Every structure is written in structure tokens, then in C-alpha cells.
Structure 1
Amino acid sequence: MKKFTPSFLMLSLLATTPVMAATTNTPQTTPQSQGYEKEMPAKQFLLEKSAKVALAKVHGAFPETKQFQITHVLAKQENGKQTFSVTLEPKKQKSKAQSTRLFTVTLDGKTGDIEYIGTGQTFTLNQFPTNEKAKKIAVSYLEKLYGAESHNYEAKQFSKLEGLSGKRMAVMFQHKKDRQTMIHVSVYNNGSVNAIQKQTVQIPIQ
């Protein structure tokens, strides 16, 4: 069996390309053979039990988002699984010239489990965090987002990322038993996080 090395391509792309809110208020539905995608009013989304669970986790890990408002929700169902992709923005920007910060969250529509977070933050820092520092920062966020479940993961790989989102260290955590489940966290040297992604990958057996 060959050793499997997870790729950080998806994380780096997601971390540098925030999900943009829709520019139209007209609900749209895209028919799919195995599901659907449709916009959902924020008020309707907030009635979902999974929404309350996920937002409580987000507010705990990122307290500033308590002052954010939901500007876009996309409900998606595929292969029997439902997810919500949510965009939050600050209720008040510091100035008109300031670019809008988009905080994006993707969650499991049934459980409220966090699948992706893009903080919309970028920093022009000169140094990468050390592996140990990046791991410590990442673990603190994972504990707030996943609770006791986070203790089932161990840091397995560190990768330096550099681009429009600045210098950051990507830490890959792998589940101790379910080796196909991983969480990627990209961390800045100042203790901030750029993106968090939980995913299950198919590990080929050869």
C-alpha cells in the first residue's frame, strides 16, 4: 500500500477565494438529477435547528460574528445530504472606503456540524508561524467548533501557504480511527485563522 499524502490545493483555493453573496434577491432553483440548490431567506434559515447549533459554535470561536448579519443563504441537497452555505457581513463597516469582509460558513443541514469556514481575513505578515505555534492556535479553534470530538484528531502535516491571503501555515489534522476524515486549518502568525475545512476523502487501496 502506498503512503497517502493529503493535498492542500482545495484549502488554499478556498482560503483565497471567498464565496460571494448573490446580487439578486430573486430565489433561484437549479434542478439537479440527485438534488437541488436554492436560495433561502435568512429568517427561514434561522428556524432550522442545525442553524442554531452551527451559529452558536461560530459565535463561540469568532465572537466578532455576533455583530454580523446573514446576507445570503444557499440550501443544497445532493446524494441525500443537505448543506447550508451562509454568508455573514458586519452590520456596520468602519468606513465607506473599507472593503466588505465576508465570513462564510458551510454546515451540515441535519446536524449543524461545521464543514467549512472562511473568515475573510488577510494579513500581510512577514513570518510564518512555527509548526508548534500553528498547531496550538488551530487546536484552540477546533475545540470551540467541535468540542470533545476535536480530541479524536491529531496533527499530521504542516504546509506553508503564501499568496493573496498572506503567509500562513496550513495544519492537517487526521482522525485517529477514521483515517479518511480530516480537518485543515490555515493559521497566521498573529493567532488569526484564514480558513477551516472538514472533509472526508477516499484513500485509494493499492
Structure 2
Amino acid sequence: MVEFFTDDYRYQRAAQPYLTAIARGVRDHPPTVAFLLEGTDYEQSFRDAVPLWQKQWAARGSSKCPFWSNYWFNPCPSCNCRIDNSVSMEIDALFFLENGDGKILAVHIEMKREGEGLSIGQAEAYRPRAACYRDQRRVRKGILHHDHFIAVLFCGVNTDIPLVSAFFDRVITHDAAHTAIPAYPST
């Protein structure tokens, strides 16, 4: 299991620098966490939360990708965590934060490069899938027990932000992320 992407890991190669910057920011730069939470229901209660980095790493087990990336599970056959005709059940990055009250928040990250669109049902499925993970409707290796979740989309300025905002707790453009997260690439 690795902490960050290696040169021989080819999946989502174009997204790796963006995802790595987010991960390093979550691990090393508390203002990154505050930025991710900005404008959400958890902005205040998780302002000083700490990432459960080592705990998540241990729970994920063996994988070729970094322990915080590429969470993929088959959809549940008996719940609403997949929208009809949608194709993807992957989370690009997932981080767990614990606040001073011992509550845990899962931060689900979807990364879309400039000009890359969401697939059919992808935006609509994000929050129901996050709720399914929170409620532990089935066992999923590497998913820590958590009390709350947010879904965050990173995207380009050409994304229909008013449309996707209905399905994500936070929508962050690459330009805004570049300003707020250390080492986040410019577009």
C-alpha cells in the first residue's frame, strides 16, 4: 500500500497531480481542510478536525493505488446508492476527519479535469452513495465508521456549476483550488 501515486501507477494519470495536492493538503495543511468544508453544514463543527490518516491507511489494506484514492465497490442491489443507467461507483478520493467531539466526517472527492463532463447519473448518485457508506448498508473494506459526509466536486469553469451544485455539498473550481491548496496545479 502506498501513500501517494507512484510513477508506474497509470490509472487516472491526468488527475493524479490534482488529487495528490488535495491529499497532501489534507494531511499537512489544516487550511486545506477548512477550504474543503467552506460553506457546508460542517464548516464550523469540523474546522479543527484532524485527518484519520494512519487509521484509514491501516483499514484500506493492500492496494496499488494510494490508500485514500480510487475507492470502488459494486452497487448495493437493494438501496438507492446507484442511479439508473449510471456507470461508475468509484470515489476518486476519500478522507476521514475527526473533530473534538469524536465525530467523524467522510469527505468524498470527485475530480473532473477542465472540460471533462460527468457521466449519466454520476452527480445524482454521489450523495446517496455517500449515505450508503455512512449507514454501512454493507461491508466495504477501508471505509471507516463515520457520522457524517460531504460530497465535493473539483471541476473546470465550463462545468454547469448551478446544475451540479444540487448534487454536491461543495463545488470547487480548479482556479479556486490552485489559490487555496498548496501545489495544486494551475489549469
Is this a same-fold pair by TM over 0.5? no
TM-score by length of 2: 0.31
Larger relative helix fraction:
2
Larger relative strand fraction:
1
Higher-Rg structure is 1
TM-score by length of 1: 0.29
